[in-house]
Amino acid sequence: MSRRDLPPNRLAAALLAGWLATAPLAWGSVTITSGAVGILRDEIGAMLPAGRVGLLVADVSGDGLTDPLGTTLVVESSLGGDSDDLILGVYQTLDLGESQFGLDLSATTFDYGGAFDAGVPLWLVWFPASDTPGASVSAGAAYGKFRTDSIDALGTMAWIAPGDGTNHSLFSLDAALGGEPAIPESAFTANFVVVPESGAFGPILSGLLLLLGVARRRLKPGENRSTLGAPASIR
């Protein structure tokens, strides 16, 4: 499938967006008039079905993304519930054409304020197991995150907050959807895991301490620790 195979209405919208991008309509907000990302995949590389939740996130401090444990999946919330990573848009996967699933970013509007201004990195974040906007992100869930400084041939912006008062189109597509440059499938795979609640580390830590205790008891004077058969991680 090539970009020529995208549904005519989406292609027309993309072309219109490119024209509108040259004509700022109003100061004080940014509008992504048209955009799409895909094909989005789960942690084993399988294409997501319809309805799975994805986010557009601004990393306001530019220090990377906070772990999303406890994030409420709504606009103006933040990753982890209290971070600089501001949620600008909440979407659900849909058919972008010929049963290729991703997110339609069209009609996303956001305002700058405080430390959030043009130039900060933007991110796509998606949760293969989440199908309910407004719900919270659970411990141990797989998620994906993506951004690039490249501008797709259909787009007018990279994943960087654009100038105030401008309209843009934002596309990042893999080869199956005709991306130029094509995004590798691995970049759209959910390669990250939400960390467990801090309490869940207790049993793991206890196990490690027990293992260290056993190793110490088996150590005789003058004996080399490396001969004790302890796991490589504690040698």
The binding site for Ca ion (CB under 5 A) comprises 59, 61, 63, 84-85
Least spacing, CB of residue 43 vs Ca ion, in Å? 23
**How many whole angstroms from its chain centre is CA 70?**
15
Q: Which two tokens stand for residue 13?
A: 């919208």
CB of 120 to Ca ion, least distance (A): 9
Contact 102, 39 (CB under 8 A): yes
Task: For the CB of residue 102, give the shortest distance to Ca ion in the complex, in Å.
Answer: 24
Q: Which is nearer to Ca ion, 84 or 152 (CB)?
A: 84
Residue nearest to Ca ion (CB): 59
How many helices (H) and strands (E) in the chain? Answer: 2, 10
C-alpha span between 152 and 90 (Å, rounded): 21
The H-assigned helical ranges of the chain are 8-20, 201-218
C-beta closer to Ca ion: residue 125 or 190 = 125
Residue 59 or 174: the one with the smaller Cβ distance to Ca ion is 59
Q: Is the Cβ of residue 85 or residue 174 nearer to Ca ion in the bound state?
A: 85
* Residue that the structure tokens 């869930």 belong to: 141
Angle at CA of residue 173, ends 135 and 13, nearest 5°? 85
Shortest distance (Å) from residue 25 CB to Ca ion: 30
